[in-house]
């Protein structure tokens, strides 16, 4: 997973709270009906907001703090496994470039 070539992804400037984060990723598999997606996603240091999908992810490398509005604050690093719910509003504070493997259910 650490050596998978990633492609640039758009990050809405309105999501950036601070820093100059860059997002890259790669879809590794998608179901024929588009309801399941698996891939790799990476973000460089900075602070961004997001509205989440139904997602299970495992951190491959890097470190971040994920604040879920009205919920937990997650400190994630290599090996951390997390579940986010569709509609969760989050703030990601990325301390070290974070790479994660994910599975999203739409």
CA distances from 3 to 31, 43, 66, 75, 102 (A): 24, 15, 25, 24, 16
User: What confidence tens digit (pLDDT) does each residue in 83-99 have?
Assistant: 999 999 999 999 999 99
pLDDT of residue 4: 83
Q: How confident is the model at residue 26 (pLDDT cuts 50, 70, 90)?
A: very high
Domain boundaries, the chain: 7-105
**What's the CATH code, domain 7-105?**
2.60.120.10
79's CB contacts (< 8 A; 6+ apart) are 58, 59
Task: Give me the percent of the chain exceeding a pLDDT of 90.
Answer: 95
In contact, 6 and 26? CB cutoff 8 Å: yes
Encode pLDDT of 67-87 as tens digits: 999 999 999 999 999 999 999
């Amino acid at each position: 997973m650490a050596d998978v070539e990633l492609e640039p992804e758009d990050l809405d400037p309105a999501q950036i709270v601070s820093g100059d984060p860059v997002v890259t990723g790669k879809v590794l598999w998608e179901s024929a009906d588009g309801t399941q997606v698996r891939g790799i996603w990476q973000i460089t240091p900075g602070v961004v907001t997001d509205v989440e999908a139904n997602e299970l992810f495992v951190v491959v490398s890097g470190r971040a703090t994920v604040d879920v509005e009205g919920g937990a604050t997650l400190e994630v690093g290599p090996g951390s496994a997390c579940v986010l719910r569709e509609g969760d509003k989050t703030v990601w504070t990325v301390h070290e470039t974070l790479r994660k493997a994910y599975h999203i259910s739409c």
